[in-house]
Amino acid sequence: MGKLIVFNSVSLDGYFADANGSMSFAHRDTNDAEWSDFVSGNAQGGGILVFGRITYDLMASYWPTPMAGKNEPIVAERMNNLPKVVFSRSMRSAAWNNTRLVKSDPADEIRKLKKDSAEGMAIMGSGTIVSQLAQEGLVDEYQLVVVPVVLGKGRTMFEGVRRILQFKLLSSRAFANGNVVLSYAPLS
């Protein structure tokens, strides 16, 4: 059975996107070799990338570009070649390499993918999808990168959650650039 992981950066005040929907705060130049190695190592994993339409559009506009290949060649190669699923009712097609467009209910589709696939799945960004799947108990692990910045306002990845969700800490790791990676599993 496939495992679903959420990997998102959040600001100190809990936002995964700023008031304009940008996640650029998470990609500031830090010159931290350990962080760069972590990001490249994380990209080595396999599985299926899962996106909502907004995050898909952001990712598809960057990762296939020559600039992405120059700046982060390992990550770009993985992002471009891994299988991807994008959930959208408004998109007509998904042109990014190895992408399948799904217009049906995200929870139903993730249940099928978890049952039918031994591969893991990772959601990056996509707060609306995270919120929907969290409420359904379909996320197996949350890997959050706390970035030392305060945005003041923005979007949380749990907007719309209608019940209390509780978690247990699996691991934590701090980096010289100030980022801290926290891994949580939901309590049943």
Q: In sequence order, what DSSP letters do the residues of the chain get, joined into one string?
A: ---EEEEEEEETTS-SEETTS--GGGG-----HHHHHHHHHHHT--SEEEEEHHHHHHHHHHTTSHHHHHH-HHHHHHHHHS-EEEE-SS-S---STTEEEE-S-HHHHHHHHHHH-SS-EEE-S-HHHHHHHHHTT---EEEEEEES---SSEE-TTTT--S---EEEEEEEE-TTS-EEEEEEE--
> Average pLDDT, stretch 141-168?
94
Domains of the chain: 4-186 (3.40.430.10)
- Residue 65's identity, in one-letter code, is T
Closest CA to 179 of 74, 35, 23: 35
Q: What is the pTM of this model?
A: 0.90
The confidence score (pLDDT) of residue 171 equals 96
- Tokens, residue 58: 């952001």
- Tokens, residue 42: 């994380």
- Tokens, residue 171: 């691991």
pLDDT digits (tens, 9 = 90+) for 16-68: 999 998 888 888 766 778 877 787 666 556 689 999 999 999 899 999 999 99
The confidence score (pLDDT) of residue 61 equals 93
- Residue 149's identity, in one-letter code, is V
Cα(134)–Cα(186) distance, rounded to whole angstroms? 9
pLDDT at 13 over 90: yes
pLDDT confidence band for 10 (50 / 70 / 90): very high
